[in-house]
Amino acid sequence: MREIQYHKAINEAFIEEMERDETVYLMGESLRGANYPHSEGLAKRFGDQRVLDTPICEAAFCGAAVASAMTGYRPIVDLMFIDFMYTAADEILLKAPQWRFMHGGKVNVPVVFMGAAGGGMKLANEHSQIPSSIILHSPGIKLAVPSTPYDAKGLMKTAIRDNNPVMYFWHKQLMAVTGEVPEEDYTIPFGVADVKREGTDVTVVAYSYMVQLALEVAKKLEGEISVEVVDPRTLEPFDLDAVLKSVEKTNRLVIVDEDTERCSFASELAAQVVDKGFTLLDEPIKRVCAGNYPIPGGYMEQHVLPSVEKIEAAIRSVAV
Amino acid sequence: MNDDDFVFPAVRGHGLPHLISKGVDPKYYLAEHCGKSTGSCGGVSTYHNIDTEHGFFGLAGTLGTGFPISVGYGMTSKWNGKQQVVVSCFGDGTSNRGTLHESFLMAANWKLPIVWVCENNQLSMYVPVKDHHPVENIADLAFGYGMPGEVVDGQDVVAVAKAVDKAVARARAGEGPSLIECKTERFVTHSIGLPDRIDLEDRTKDDYVELKKRDPVVLFQEKLLKEGVLTQKEMERIDQEIAVEIDAAEAFADAGSPPDPSVLDDYLYAK
Ligand SMILES: Cc1ncc(C[n+]2csc(CCOP(=O)(O)OP(=O)(O)O)c2C)c(N)n1
């Protein structure tokens, strides 16, 4: 199969969905000039009615997208760095997820919000977060977190076709990663985990860029500890069964989450596994997350973010 | 401006021009960008900068932060009896943020001593100002809030100084905020490594030649020479002094070491 880069996979999803459905359009800052390569070529192809450069008005364009979605369109809102979503918190966390519910299910809000997530580039707190927990704390919005080009394309297409608001985090460290992506149309259902590597000793649940780190560690430990890497691909909806099935086999669970540890997805999953699969566990569940600090820039970043060393140590600590 | 007058820097240059203009040694700025513990934020921030002695209480990565923060500086200035003023700088793109309007409103209502300075370099990343702002002058936003709004040639150092002086005097006299828009140009790409584009078109070498003709530093040098304020020789001496200062800043940044991880706890909560 052909291999393409992660950003190219997103770009293809846009093109195919915009061609399939003329109500789909893209809105954000400097998209026409393609400040990130996933919007390259779209303005020339679809014109300025469907690739909209907005002023730096996050609250206004996110709110507008909610209304546009309610009234017949399917906006994809690109927030550039996902950290900027805080400037439109009301629109993204209160309006998009809750409007349908608060109006008795009378309207749908099929909007996709997306942004560059994660650290590793020493850009400091306002350009490095992956705020999954904040999204998960707002029932009513789904969350897609692709770790490969294949998932990036399939999940974006599903996100665009979904009748609900979807937050889509793409990871800066994955932007140039290549992987197999079929040429023909495909989608990936939300809420279906993918076992990225099979193993028998320890289950590692990781998402987004952390999947790549987990796979690196799993490879390193080959022959010593057999690590199974489970990638949920969406955190809402979440495939708990896939995790329980894996833990049934390994009896050990490490959760890798690049978001801040306190009240994280990792914490939530740990609670769910204790609740539903307590008897499956032979060892305490370990979480490897960002430390409870703002993400610093420069050399300090590595002390806060998860790393292969920290993941390896956690795996070893349960693989007695 | 006085040493203790507040400044919120615009994002371009991460505040360097604003720091230098208040006499701050650039070595702390450079060390911060290099992630060294000798940097102005102890090396944890990459690009944020601070110098409280000179009225700089920080810089943000999310644009539009400077508006409400400056309102707070203005409240302090008004209450503490020290006759301070606030100069709050922002780009044309940053003027898009809703926080501008909320902050203009509060500052105008409370007659806060703030000078809002828009550095309009005609571009917000790849978006030309005509595509992100509906009228010719951003300075016109002032009128809705009952403050003076003035457009100046941002390439003319003296014109900018005069306009700011006037607005600072007005603020210090308790007459409230003003808005100054400096029309200027962006000489380089938005960020190193990115293409330099306006909408879909890359800027060409010829474009740069045209732009450089209106370089404010060159224009100011010509003016100083013509008016006999400085001789060519004196000008060269200044250039040499600048080169020495830059070398010293680089050496200082190189000599520093990365911070110790223990600072993470020190910086999180005050004792
Ligand atoms: C809230 C927010 N939205 C978007 C960005 C991304 N961004 C960084 S600089 C920039 C353009 C800023 O333009 P302007 O204010 O005119 O300043 P200039 O870069 O031209 O000096 C944008 C959109 C950001 N940092 N913060």
If asked whether residues A215 and A89 sit together in one domain, one would say no
If asked whether residues A91 and A68 sit together in one domain, one would say yes
Name the average pLDDT for chain A. 98
Domain boundary, last residue among A159, A181, A203: A181
Question: So what's the pLDDT on residue A84?
Answer: 98
Alpha-carbon gap, residue A19 to A41, rounded angstroms: 14
Give mean pLDDT, residues A266-283. Answer: 98
Of all residues in chain A, the percent with pLDDT exceeding 70 is: 100
If asked whether residues A50 and A164 sit together in one domain, one would say yes
Inspect the interface and report whether the beta carbons of B98 and A60 lie closer than 8 Å.
Answer: yes
Question: So what's the pLDDT on residue B18?
Answer: 94
Count CB pairs under 8 A between chains A and B: 110
How many structural domains is chain A composed of? 2
If asked whether residues A13 and A159 sit together in one domain, one would say yes
SS (H, E, C) chain B: CCCCCEEECCCHHHHHHHHHHCCCCCHHHHHHHCCCCCCCCCCCCCCCCCEHHHCECCCCCCCCCHHHHHHHHHHHHHHCCCCCCEEEEEECCHHHCHHHHHHHHHHHHCCCCEEEEEEECCEECCEEHHHHCCCCCHHHHHHHHCCCEEEEECCCHHHHHHHHHHHHHHHHCCCCCEEEEEECCCCCCCCCCCCCEECCEECCHHHHHHHHCCCHHHHHHHHHHHCCCCCHHHHHHHHHHHHHHHHHHHHHHHHCCCCCCCHHHHHHCCC
Q: Supply angle C-alpha A141, A8, A12, rounded to 5.
A: 70
If asked whether residues A19 and A152 sit together in one domain, one would say yes
Domains of chain B (ranges, CATH numbers): 6-268 (3.40.50.970)
Question: So what's the pLDDT on residue B264?
Answer: 96
Q: For position A45, which CATH number holds?
A: 3.40.50.970
If asked whether residues A134 and A228 sit together in one domain, one would say no
For this structure, is A127 an active site residue?
yes
Question: So what's the pLDDT on residue B55?
Answer: 97
CB contact A293 to B (< 8 Å)? yes
If asked whether residues A9 and A156 sit together in one domain, one would say yes
If asked whether residues A101 and A250 sit together in one domain, one would say no
Q: Whose CA is nearest to atom 9 of ligand 1?
A: B125
If asked whether residues A150 and A199 sit together in one domain, one would say no
Of all residues in chain B, the percent with pLDDT exceeding 70 is: 100
- What single-letter DSSP state applies at residue A297? B
**Domain contains A189:** no
- What is the sign of the dihedral through the CA atoms of A274, A280, A284 and A286? negative
- Our mutation pick for probing the ligand 1 site, out of B94, B118, B119, B126, counting the most ligand atoms within 8 A of Cβ, is B94
CB contact A32 to B (< 8 Å)? yes
**Domain contains A57:** yes
Question: So what's the pLDDT on residue B193?
Answer: 87
The residues, any chain, with a CB within 8 Å of residue A130's CB and separated by 6 or more, are A82, A117, A118, A119, A169, A171, A208, A258, A259
Q: For position A290, which CATH number holds?
A: 3.40.50.920
* Chain A: closest CA distance from residue B199 (Å): 5
Alpha-carbon gap, residue B247 to B146, rounded angstroms: 47
Structure confidence by residue, pLDDT tens digits, B229-260: 999 999 999 999 999 999 999 999 999 999 99
Structure confidence by residue, pLDDT tens digits, B22-64: 999 999 999 999 999 999 999 999 899 999 999 999 999 999 9
Residue A320, pLDDT > 90, answer no
- Could you list the residue range(s) of the whole structural domain that residue A205 is in? 194-318
If asked whether residues A283 and A309 sit together in one domain, one would say yes
Structure confidence by residue, pLDDT tens digits, A161-197: 999 999 999 999 999 999 999 999 999 999 999 999 9
Domain boundary, last residue among A181, A208, A235: A181
**Who among A32, A57, A298 is closest to B98 (CB)?**
A57
**Domain contains A163:** yes
Inspect the interface and report whether the beta carbons of B97 and A87 lie closer than 8 Å.
Answer: yes
| CA A219–ligand 1 middle distance (angstroms) | 41
Q: Within 10 A of A69 (CB to CB), how many other CB atoms are there? A: 24
Structure confidence by residue, pLDDT tens digits, A99-141: 999 999 999 999 999 999 999 999 999 999 999 999 999 999 9
**Who among B45, B62, B195 is closest to A296 (CB)?**
B45
Identify the band that residue A73 occupies on the pLDDT scale cut at 50, 70 and 90.
very high
**ipTM metric:** 0.95
